[in-house]
Amino acid sequence: MIIHKEGKGTLGLVFIVLFAVNALIQWAVENQVIEVLTLAISVILYVIVLQFFRNPKRVVQVNPNGIICPADGKVVTIEEVYEDEVLQTKCIQMSIFMSPFNVHVNRFPLGGKVKTAIHHKGKFLVAWHPKSSSLNERTTVAVENKIWGTVVFRQIAGAVARRIVMYAKPGDMAAQGSEFGFIKFGSRVDIFLPLDCKILVKEGEVVKGAKTVLAARA
Task: Give me the mean pLDDT over the 9-24 stretch.
Answer: 86
Higher pLDDT, 153 or 56: 153
Candidates 147, 124, 144, 119; CA nearest to 135 is 124
Cα angle 69-217-196, degrees, rounded to a multiple of 5: 105
Candidates 71, 80, 57, 84; CA nearest to 187 is 71
Q: Which amino acid is at 26?
A: Q
- pLDDT tens by residue, 56-107: 788 888 899 999 999 999 999 999 999 999 999 999 999 999 887 888 899 9
Instruction: Give the C-alpha separation, 96 to 16, whole Å.
Output: 34
Candidates 43, 51, 59; CA nearest to 2 is 51
Query: Do residues 141 and 166 lie in contact, with contact meaning Cβ atoms separated by under 8 Å?
Result: yes
**Residue 130 pLDDT grade (very low, low, confident, very high; cuts 50, 70, 90):** low
- Coil, strand or helix at 5: helix
Task: Give me the mean pLDDT over the 29-53 stretch.
Answer: 85
Which stretch of DSSP H or E encloses residue 67? strand 66-68
Please state, for a pLDDT cut of 70, what percent of the chain lies above it: 89
Report DSSP state, residue 6: G
How confident is the prediction for the chain on average, in pLDDT? 87
Q: What's the predicted TM-score (pTM) here?
A: 0.81
Instruction: Give the C-alpha separation, 73 to 76, whole Å.
Output: 9
Phi/psi at 83 (5° precision): -90, 110
- pLDDT tens by residue, 167-216: 999 999 999 999 999 987 668 899 999 999 999 999 999 999 999 999 99
Provide the CATH topology of domain 66-217. Glucose Permease (Domain IIA) (2.70.70)
Residues forming the active site? 187
Please state, for a pLDDT cut of 90, what percent of the chain lies above it: 54
Query: Do residues 201 and 124 lie in contact, with contact meaning Cβ atoms separated by under 8 Å?
Result: no
